[in-house]
């Protein structure tokens, strides 16, 4: 995790609880709004999709691109954030 953002480190450092989707690394206000419109308003709802897709990087990144038009860096950052959170808490 040496090259992760502060946002990533903050997210992975504690339980998810009711964190908004914009707390996920790679998800800013614009992508957050798009995800909210699609029904993913909390970080745990995106985690649910991540788990449904069996933590598969390519499938998750494709889903994020299709759902909120995330670019490859954004989707990769979000994937890594959720993967590291799962490694820590699941």
What is the pLDDT, as a whole number, of residue 4? 85
By C-alpha distance, which of 29, 26, 39 is closest to 65?
Answer: 26
In the predicted structure, residue 33 carries a pLDDT above the cut 50: yes
Summarised one tens digit per residue, pLDDT across range 53-82 is 999 999 999 999 999 999 999 999 999 999
pTM: 0.94
Q: Which residues contact 18 (CB under 8 A, 6 or more apart)?
A: 42, 44
Q: Give the residue carrying structure tokens 């502060």.
A: 6
In the predicted structure, residue 2 carries a pLDDT above the cut 70: no
In the predicted structure, residue 3 carries a pLDDT above the cut 80: no
């Amino acid at each position: 995790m040496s090259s992760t953002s502060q946002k990533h480190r903050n997210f992975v450092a504690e339980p998810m609880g009711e964190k908004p989707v914009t707390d996920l690394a790679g998800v800013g206000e614009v992508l957050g709004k798009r995800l909210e419109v699609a029904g993913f308003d909390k970080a745990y709802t995106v985690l649910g999709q991540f788990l449904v897709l069996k933590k598969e990087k390519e499938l998750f990144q494709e889903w994020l691109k299709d759902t909120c038009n995330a670019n490859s860096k954004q989707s990769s950052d979000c994937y890594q954030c959720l993967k590291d959170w799962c490694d820590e808490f699941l």
